[in-house]
């Protein structure tokens, strides 16, 4: 059931004593904006950076199923329920593409899940906020998936082939998520005064955490410069955040158009809050992790059955059974 790649061995045999021409070839591919593929030699630090980033991204996709999943049984109509189920299922799919992409770098999915479950790898801090009302499902789609698109579209041109290709498909699905969120909020904002207030409250609560999704300011961001040089990262955190603000323009008393900069100025972000949530003290960190570990344990029988099935198919002497 796990990726069937032999890149771990390929990478290891080359990585030990990189022939000079392998390193040169890597630098040339990066300089020419071409893709690095799993079979290519790559510096250890490049591999490690990608594993960390892709894993954190994959973890965010599957933890991100929880806040919205909480509303599947309470969606206001059958239509909304069907759309929400499809959306949450997409996020599981994103997790799968990304874990598969990480596996091409020679790590095992089990290992990555273990790092998540023991708190040694993180997921996006945004998913530690609660979904208090139905309007939050709209705010997540519009703002959180919207911010994700802004962050992720440049990754479609990332220098690592399997990651870039996974992102192409993910971004297509994220646009649908953003539209459905917008449509929920649009409907509520044309509804009763109670529904309007609910929509406004959801947007107010999710606005600042959405801005934090772009990460700390560039001057405080540890890995940015090297990732940019490697063609993993294409734009700075602050630049992407500014684009998102300019596009969305929302509940901030300090928001003003600044003709000199050609951008909107906006209020100060509470970076202490982000640090707190990343440390584990957000409103829902413990709950999210508890449910994730529970889901993993509950799914053990599925993994075992899939493994048994794969083992059986790998046995040519059982062809008869397979054919019947
Ligand atoms: Fe996603
Ligand atoms: Fe999404």
HSE, CB side, 13 Å, CA atoms: give it for residue 197: 3
Q: Which ligand is nearest to the CA of 91?
A: 1
Q: Report how far ligand 2's centroid is from the alpha carbon of 127 (Å).
A: 12
If phi > 0 it is left, if psi is from -120 to 50 it is alpha, else beta; for residue 33 that is: left
Query: What's the gap in Å between 141 CA and the centre of ligand 2?
Result: 7
Tell me the mean pLDDT in the region 104-111.
95
Mean pLDDT of the residues in the chain: 88
Q: What whole-number percentage of the chain has pLDDT above 90? A: 65
Model confidence pLDDT, tens digit, residues 294-303:
999 999 999 9
Q: How do residues 184-240 score in pLDDT, each as one tens digit?
A: 999 999 999 999 999 999 999 999 999 888 888 888 776 778 888 888 888 888 888
Asked if residue 25 has pLDDT above 80, the reply is yes
Kindly tell me if the per-residue pLDDT of 251 is higher than 60. yes
CB 227 within 8 A of CB 51: no
Do 35 and 29 contact (CB within 8 A), yes or no? yes
> Mind listing the pLDDT tens digit for each residue in 59-99?
999 999 999 999 999 999 999 999 999 999 999 999 999 99
User: Which pLDDT band, with edges at 50, 70 and 90, does 10 fall under?
Assistant: very low
Closest ligand (CA of 174): 2
Cα–ligand 2 centroid distance for 58 (angstroms): 12
Please give the average per-residue pLDDT across 273-283, as a whole number: 89
Question: Is 263 in a helix, a strand, or coil?
Answer: strand
CA 75 / ligand 1 centre spacing (Å): 20
Closest ligand to 93 CA?
Answer: 1
Q: What is the pLDDT of residue 322?
A: 56
Cα-to-centroid distance, 279 and ligand 2 (Å) = 24
Other C-beta atoms closer than 10 Å to the C-beta of 182 total 16
**CA 41 – ligand 2 centroid, Å:** 33
Q: How many contiguous H segments (helices) and E segments (strands) does the chain have?
A: 16, 2
Coil, strand or helix: which one is 139? helix
Q: What is the pTM of this model?
A: 0.84
Quick: pLDDT tens for 131-140.
Answer: 999 999 999 9
Counting ligands in written order, the one closest to the CA of 87 is 2
Among all ligands shown, which has an atom nearest to the Cα of 141? 2
- How far apart are the CA of 16 and the centre of ligand 2, in A? 39
Three-class DSSP category at 258: strand
């Amino acid at each position: 059931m796990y990726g069937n790649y032999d890149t771990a061995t390929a990478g290891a045999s080359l990585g030990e004593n990189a022939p000079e021409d392998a390193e040169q070839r890597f630098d040339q591919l990066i300089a020419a904006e071409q893709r690095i593929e799993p079979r290519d030699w790559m510096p250890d630090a490049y591999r490690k950076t990608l594993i960390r980033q892709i894993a954190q991204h994959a973890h965010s996709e599957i933890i991100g199923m929880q806040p919205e999943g909480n509303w599947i049984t309470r969606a206001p109509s059958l239509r909304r329920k069907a759309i929400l189920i499809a959306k949450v299922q997409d996020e599981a799919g994103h997790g799968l593409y990304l874990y598969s992409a990480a596996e091409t770098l020679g790590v095992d999915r089990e290992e990555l899940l273990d790092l998540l479950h023991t708190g040694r790898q993180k997921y996006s801090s945004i998913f530690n906020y609660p979904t208090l009302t139905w309007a939050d499902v709209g705010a997540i789609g519009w703002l959180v998936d919207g911010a994700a698109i802004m962050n992720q579209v440049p990754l479609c041109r990332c220098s690592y082939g399997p990651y870039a290709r996974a992102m192409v498909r993910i971004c297509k699905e994220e646009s649908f998520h953003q539209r459905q969120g917008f449509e929920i909020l649009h409907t509520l904002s044309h509804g009763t005064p109670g529904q309007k207030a609910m929509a406004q409250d959801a947007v107010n609560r999710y606005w600042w955490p959405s801005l934090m999704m772009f990460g700390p300011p560039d001057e405080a961001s540890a890995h940015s410069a090297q990732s940019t040089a490697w063609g993993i990262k294409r734009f700075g955190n602050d630049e992407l955040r500014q684009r998102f603000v300019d596009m969305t323009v929302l509940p901030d008393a300090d928001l003003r158009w600044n003709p000199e900069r050609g951008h909107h100025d906006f209020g100060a972000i509470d970076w202490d809050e982000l640090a707190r949530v990343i440390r584990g003290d957000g409103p829902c960190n413990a709950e999210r992790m508890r449910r994730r570990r529970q889901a993993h344990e509950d799914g053990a029988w599925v993994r075992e059955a899939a493994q048994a099935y794969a083992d059986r198919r790998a046995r040519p002497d059982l062809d008869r059974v397979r054919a019947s």
